[in-house]
Structure 1
Amino acid sequence: MRLDHWIKQLFIIPGLVVAILLTNPIININTFIKILIGLLATSLIASSNYVINEWLDAKFDKYHPTKKNRSAVVNKLKKEIIYTIYFLLAISGLIISSFISKYFLITELTLWIMGILYNVKPFRLKDIAFIDSLSESINNALRFLMGWFLITSSYLPPISIILGYWLTGTFLMQIKRYSEYRMINDKNTASKYRKSFATYNEDTLLVSSVFYAILAVFFIGIFLIKYKIELILFIPFFIGLFCLYIYISFKKDSPVQKPEKLYKEKILIAYLIFLFILFIILININIEYLDVFINNDLLPLKK
């Protein structure tokens, strides 16, 4: 079930924050109860995806330096028990989701379906280079939508922030593969562990990671500037976050391979806190001179 991975539901928070900022909802005790219920539902469905992932990946994980110690690899597990747990978790999560809203339920159902497309043959998107990261990171955009729909079911969020959030997830997935590939340090073994590694190499993984990062900043930048011009000052520091994450990926046995362990990276956590404080400051101030960036008038020159 990977209970330690439940921390990934923190990716729901930006959806909550953006929905609150853009829709000005009434926040009360029922809102917090709904959020807790939503987090539980998402965690259950995510756990169902983790169960099927570990079960179907067991024969590949034995080639990974650390995943070879997983229970599904070292123990002989009964298929009937695995699938019973899988469906119980998924059904429980979907039932709980139905109490929140129709749109939240649809988003959770999509999360579950993506787990099937990503892990199960004949789809098994995780075996196709580039499609693997792009498809897995759809879960990132889905978590944003979950946060949004926990606040409002009256509007859709801006497409720019959805695309930016999705591509941020793609960057995270691709840089994770880059770090894994470097750690295994043998293409033959790496390809046995993850079929897409037969196509990838260090260069393509790193370059594509940077490409996804640039696209993510582009779309998120559109959203930030469109809704609050002062947030243009946030963008350089946001780019710094991607640079820091790439730097961390160079470490031996880098924690980017296990995002649930990233809380141990003190510099990263400190930088995230700094970004949060900067964001709060910028959305609460007005700098009129920044209007030059959105003014369509040409500046006249003296004759």
Structure 2
Amino acid sequence: MIDKAMTAGPIPTSRGRFRDYVAIARLDHMTKHVFILPGMILAYVLLHPVVQAGPFRIFLGLLSAVAIASANYVINEWLDREFDAYHPLKSARTAVHRSLSAPIIYAEYMLLVIAGLALAMNLGIVFAWTAIAFVLSGLVYNVMPVRTKDRVYLDVLSESINNPIRLMLGWSMIAPHTVPPVSLLLTYWMGGAFLMAAKRLAEYRDITARGGAELLPRYRRSFGRYTAENLAVSCLLYAILSAFFLAVFLIKYRQEYIFALPLIAVLFASYFWLAMLPDSVAARPERLFRSRRLMLASFVVVGSLTVLTFVDMPFLNSLSEPSFLRVGL
């Protein structure tokens, strides 16, 4: 059942301490930056650039990404503190329980943004502009009057835009003067939208199962128009779109990867299966590593892509040409 304390809004708070301001930066969420890694790998595989991304450059790039992501988390937790009080898990967040200082919060946000952008300026124009887009995505998602997180469907699409942004950051660490193919960016975007919609579905199912359906719009306004059905359908739509753009990318840039598509489909299905479970870890992406089935599917996909990176199959070129079987002649 839903805790009765959540039905009354924010709970009494105590004075914030230094460690509370560190906590809202959510450094424990750095695992999400794993989405940067494919950008680095694909840039090297597809472009074979002259090695110019030494360890120090990559370190600076990752540090910049972490700083900007933490800035986005700071502003997110601060502006959401009154809404998070209605969520069974997020009601335990620091900003809900502690009385934090607004000037210190905004100073922390600005310090992290300045640090992230300062590092980004040393890594080339593509990385710099991508870092700026990363900052703007956090503002658009969290800050009024836009605050896309309150708008149905747009909340998922605007949150998942961080996936192609992270891909761009990784790519530009290796190939600073180019940008990834649009088909790859769209694949990442729609794949991220699938993950976010599945997360919403898991939250919706868990909270309504505990009798807290009336609290959902108080936690996030977009839930006022979501149902389990339209969330499930949106997951299907985003998965299909991601697969479509992925197929376009594979056929154009590395046809051998096409053999990994069935395994990627299994990975998507595994994640959707998780979202349908009670008390799903899909609602808490930072804990996904606890699902052995999902981790196994992920390792199989990564392994297959690794093998297909080094195995050339020239016969695929002829298979991609139009051909027709003639019968009865």
| TM-score computed with the length of structure 2 as normaliser | 0.88
For structure 2, the residue ranges without an aligned partner over 5 or more in a row are 1-24
Partners in 2 of 1:288 and 1:104 — Cα distance? 35
* Aligned pairs (5 A) from 1:204-223: 204-223=230-249
Aligned 8 A contact 1:12 1:143 in 2: yes
Partners in 1 of 2:40 and 2:31 — Cα distance? 16
How far 1:154 sits from its partner (Å)? 2.5
* Aligned pairs (5 A) from 1:78-117: 78-117=101-140
Aligned sequence identity (%): 39
Partner of 1:10: 34
- Which residue of 237, 259, 262 corresponds with 2:285? 259
How far 1:280 sits from its partner (Å)? 1.8
Partner of 1:274: 300
Partner of 1:177: 200
Partner of 1:138: 161
Aligned 8 A contact 2:71 2:112 in 1: yes
Letter in 1 for 2:286: E
Provide the secondary structure at the position in 1 that maps to 2:123.
coil
Aligned 8 A contact 2:126 2:178 in 1: no
Aligned 8 A contact 2:263 2:300 in 1: no
Partners in 2 of 1:190 and 1:141 — Cα distance? 29
Provide the secondary structure at the position in 1 that maps to 2:110.
helix
Letter in 2 for 1:202: A
Aligned 8 A contact 1:187 1:197 in 2: no
How far 1:94 sits from its partner (Å)? 0.5
Partner of 2:226: 200
Offset from partner CA, 1:57-81 (integer Å, 9 cap, x none): 0100000001111110011111111
Aligned 8 A contact 1:187 1:198 in 2: no
Structure 2 residue 275 is the aligned partner of structure 1 residue 249: yes
Partners in 1 of 2:231 and 2:34 — Cα distance? 26
Partners in 2 of 1:152 and 1:284 — Cα distance? 20
Offset from partner CA, 1:235-280 (integer Å, 9 cap, x none): 1111111000001112222111121111122221122111111112
For structure 1, the residue ranges without an aligned partner over 5 or more in a row are none
Partners in 1 of 2:87 and 2:156 — Cα distance? 18
Compared CA separation, residues 151 and 112, structure 1 to 2 (3 A)? same
Partner of 2:188: 165
Aligned residues: 302
Partners in 2 of 1:156 and 1:92 — Cα distance? 24
Partners in 1 of 2:314 and 2:179 — Cα distance? 30
How far 1:39 sits from its partner (Å)? 0.7
Partners in 1 of 2:310 and 2:124 — Cα distance? 31
Aligned 8 A contact 2:117 2:128 in 1: yes
Of 114-123 and 180-189, deviating more is: 180-189
How far 1:288 sits from its partner (Å)? 4.7
How far 1:196 sits from its partner (Å)? 0.2
How far 1:167 sits from its partner (Å)? 0.6
Compared CA separation, residues 93 and 288, structure 1 to 2 (3 A)? closer
Offset from partner CA, 1:27-72 (integer Å, 9 cap, x none): 36x5222111111100000000100100000100000001111110
Partner of 1:22: 46
**Runs ≥4 residues deviating over 6 A:** none
- Which residue of 220, 239, 245 corresponds with 2:265? 239
- Which residue of 77, 82, 89 corresponds with 1:66? 89
Partner of 1:38: 61
How far 1:224 sits from its partner (Å)? 1.1
